[in-house]
Amino acid sequence: MKHVTSRHNERLREVERLIASSRDRRKSGRCVLEGAHLIDVYCAKIGEPETLVVVADRLEEADIARLIRRVPAARTIAVSRTLFSEIATLPPDVGALAVVATPHAPAAEPGHFCLLLEDVQDPGNVGSMIRTAAAAGIDQVVLSRHCAFAWSPKVLRAGQGAHFLTTLVEDRDLVQWTSAFRGAGGRLVATVVGNATAVDAADLRGRVAIAIGSEGGGLSEALVAAADQRIGQSEMALAAHDMEGLVEHQARLTQQRANGGSEERVRCVCCESIPFGVLRKDGADACDLPRGCVEASPVPRNRHRRSPEW
């Protein structure tokens, strides 16, 4: 491990460039993960980061020590709290950041259960929806060309590691994507305001893609016109900020119907702690993306098992 005291170190300068510039992130195919939890998930699901930067006075803490053991010493840099605060967007208390190769999904057919995000521009909303999608078992999250970049620091922070637990497909023409999806037997469900089936009355079984529109304008007319079903509520826009409840509801409907209408809940396959659908936004470990489950669960993509006693 190398101890670095100068902000002009080439690897630290690279970190700064990647944090500051979306263009550099896209061009290089790399991004920066901030915080031990995000890096833990990446290591468990993808592999070693290219560079690990840790705060020197936290080397003995368990989460940082675990990361240091997982990453070759030649790729690890220790810096002071002051220097860390100068290059990172989060305070030194997070303990670590890493430069990683951005995972790219290979060309593949649309999944069985998909989420479409059309022109959702707030990074926090995009990250929150990716996190909820991973918790609900969504196969693919497909983003339009004008969505916030999925690998920006704010989106990654809001996602809390979910980027590596589902498949992200960016820069897509959603109308064309929908045509291929429907041609393969899928149904598009559009979230709209007015003239729509209430969420709790909608039939969301089978191969389904749920489309969520932008914060201000909702879905485009073209995507709404292509929909097989429209769901929503007459007095509340089902746009980005309503997505968590929608996807959780869909997942519960699917599970309930699969169980013949029973009211079974689900527990995390590993920690057996919090009911499915309880999502914590404070960054702490929770049933949706707990650190222990990432490391210990043999079930891919955070799958859950039913727990009738709940």
Domain map of the chain by residue range?
A: 2-101, 113-258
pLDDT of residue 243: 55
User: What are the helix (H) ranges across the chain?
Assistant: 10-20, 22-28, 36-45, 62-70, 81-87, 123-136, 153-159, 174-183, 221-225, 243-258, 291-296
Q: What is the pLDDT of residue 156?
A: 93
* pLDDT (mean) for 148-165: 92
Higher-confidence residue of 232 and 38: namely 38
Query: Considering the domain 113-258 in this protein, what is its CATH number?
Result: 3.40.1280.10
Output the average pLDDT for the chain: 79
pLDDT given for residue 216 in this prediction? 82
pLDDT band at 163 (very low <50, low <70, confident <90, very high): very high
What's 2-101's CATH class? alpha beta
Residue 196 has pLDDT above 60, yes or no: yes
Cα end-to-end span (Å), the chain? 48
Residue, of 269 and 247, whose pLDDT is higher: 247
Task: Specify which residues 115 forms β-bridges with.
Answer: 141, 210
Mean pLDDT score, 56-80: 95
Same fold, 2-101 and 113-258: no
Q: What is the pLDDT of residue 15?
A: 95
pTM above 0.85, yes or no: no
Tens digits of residue pLDDT in 208-222: 999 999 888 889 999
- Residue (of 39, 36, 60) closest to 50 by Cα position: 39
3-state secondary structure of 260: coil
Instruction: Please say whether the beta carbons of 227 and 197 come within 8 A.
Output: no
Q: What percent of the chain has pLDDT over 70?
A: 74
